[in-house]
Chain A
Amino acid sequence: MVGRLLDSMTLGRKAQRLVTLIILIVLTACSSREVVVEGSFPTPLVDPVPVSVGILFTKEFKEHELIDDATGRGEVSWRVSTGTAQVLFWSTLFPAFFQDVVFIENYEDLQTYDVDAVLIPQVADVQYAIPLYTNVKVYEIWMRYNLALVEPEQLVDEESAAITLENLQPFAEWPLTAYGKTPTAFMQSDVDAVNLAAVMALRDAGANFITSFLRVPGVMDWVENPEEAQ
C-alpha cells in the first residue's frame, strides 16, 4: 500500500526510501505502546515485625511484563514492563517492614544466612484498562500477587547445590490484590498515564501487604514464635 502511494508521487528513489521509512516508523509508533514502569517509592513508616526473613525474587518476578497484542482495527498493542519497578519497590518495603531482611540470590546465600523463613512474591496477573476501551476517563492497572512463606530448608537442593522451587509446601500462602488509576485529565500521553497507574498500583500493593500481613492465617503464630510455628 505504501509502495503504491509512493509510486503515485513524483519522487526520486532515495526520497522514496526515506518517505517509506518515515511512514513505517509512524505506523509502528501508532500501533504499539511500550512502558517500562518507573517511579520513586517511599520507605514505609512502620514498626518492624520482629522476624528475620529471606526474600527470593524469582526470574519471572524480576522480568515480569504484560504483553497485550492488538486484535482489532484501531486497537493498540501494549507492552508494560513492571519487573524492574517491582524489585525496586519491594526491595524498599521489605527491609522496613521486617526487622532483618536478606535478599536470597543463590544457593550460597541460603547456606550463609540464618533466616526464620523465606518470602517468595510472585506476580500472578496484571490487567489494564484505558479510556479507549472503557469510555471511563481513567487509566487503570490491577495487579494480583501470590505470596508464600516457606522454611529455608525447603528451597535447598543438595544434589545440584542450587535453589529449587519444586514441591514447596509453604506454611503461609496468600493472594494480594492491588489497584492504581490515573484520570485522563492529569496526563499528556497514554504511556505516562499507564506508568503512573502502575506506580499507584505498586503503592497500593504495599499498603495492602502492610495492613493485611498479620491477619494472614498462620503468620501471627509464626511471628510470635518463629522457631516453632512452622
Chain B
Amino acid sequence: MKRAVPAIVLLTTLLGGCVTANVDEMTFDAPVAGMADGSIVILGRRHAPDYDTEPDFIDCIGNHISRGSESISVIPERQFVDALYPWFEPRTAPLSIESVGRLMVLPSVANKLAELGLNYMIWIDGRTQDTNSSGSMTCGVGPTGAGCFGFGTWGTESEYEATIWNFDDGAEVGKMSALTSGQSYMPAVVVPIPIIAPVQDTACDSLGTQLLQYLSAGS
C-alpha cells in the first residue's frame, strides 16, 4: 500500500492537468492607455431558462483582475446588483449598452453610477457542465470495514463569453470567449481517489488574463 502512494500522487498530478483551453478575442476599440484608478464591475448573465452564470466564476474573474492590477478596483457583483436594485435583476438587466442609456434617464441611477466611478461593465455569459460519464463503481460495508472498487470517468466543459462595455464612451468595445474541456477520473481500490480536471479554473485564468491585458493595455 505504501508503494502505491507515490504512484497515486504522480497519477493525480499527471491526470489533473488534462485540460485543453481555447481563448478567442475580438476587440473593436482597444484602450490607448490603461485604466488609472478606475473601477469595473463584472456581472453574470442570469436570464437563460436552464442555467445561470455561476457567481463563484464571476468572483474568480474579479479576483484574477484585482490580483493582476492594483489600480483597477473591481466592484463585487452582489454589492453592485444590490446597490442598483432592481435595475440589474434577470428581468430588468440591460442587454445592450444602449439600454443603459435609457436607465441613466433615472436621476437616482445616474447618480449612483457616477458615485461608483464606473469605467467598464463586463458581462459574462456561460456555464460549466459535465458532458459525458462512464465506468462503474461498487461500494460495500461489512463487519470488517467498508470499501469501494471500480473506475469512473466524466468529461467537463466550460464555455464563457465576456462582453465589455465602456461607460465613458457609451459603447461596446470588445468580446472575449474561453472554451475549456477536460476529463476527470475516479479510480477506486478500497478508497475512491477523485482526480478532478480543473476545467472551470482554467477558463477563469484564461478569460481573466485576457481581460486584464485589455484593461491594462498601454499602462
Contact = CB atoms under 8 A, between A and B. Distances in A.
Contact of B86 (A47, A181, A206): A206
B46 to A, nearest CB: 9
A74 interface: no
Contacts of B86: 44-45, 203, 206-207, 210-211
Interface stretch (B2-10, B15-23, B104-112, B208-216): B104-112
B91 A208 contact: yes
Nearest to B55: A186
Nearest to A183: B52
Q: Which of A44, A138, A183, A186 has the most CB of B within 10 A?
A: A183
Given A45-B84, A206-B86, A211-B86, A181 B91 contact: no
A183 B127 CA distance: 11
Interface string B57-91: 00000000000000000000000001111110111
Interface string B175-209: 00000000000000000000000000000000000
B92 interface: yes
A185 interface: yes
B149 interface: no
A45 B52 contact: no
A86 B83 CA distance: 20
Given A43-B85, A45-B85, A204 B52 contact: no
Contact of B90 (A136, A138, A204): A204
A228 to B, nearest CB: 28
Contacts of A185: 54, 127-129
Interface string A171-194: 000000000011101100000000
B50 interface: yes
Interface string A205-224: 01110110000000000000
In the A-B complex, the 4 residue pairs with the smallest Cβ-Cβ separation, listed nearest first, are: A207-B86, A42-B82, A42-B85, A207-B89
Given A137-B50, A206-B85, A207-B91, 10 more contacts: A44-B86, A45-B109, A46-B106, A181-B52, A183-B51, A183-B54, A200-B90, A207-B92, A210-B86, A211-B86
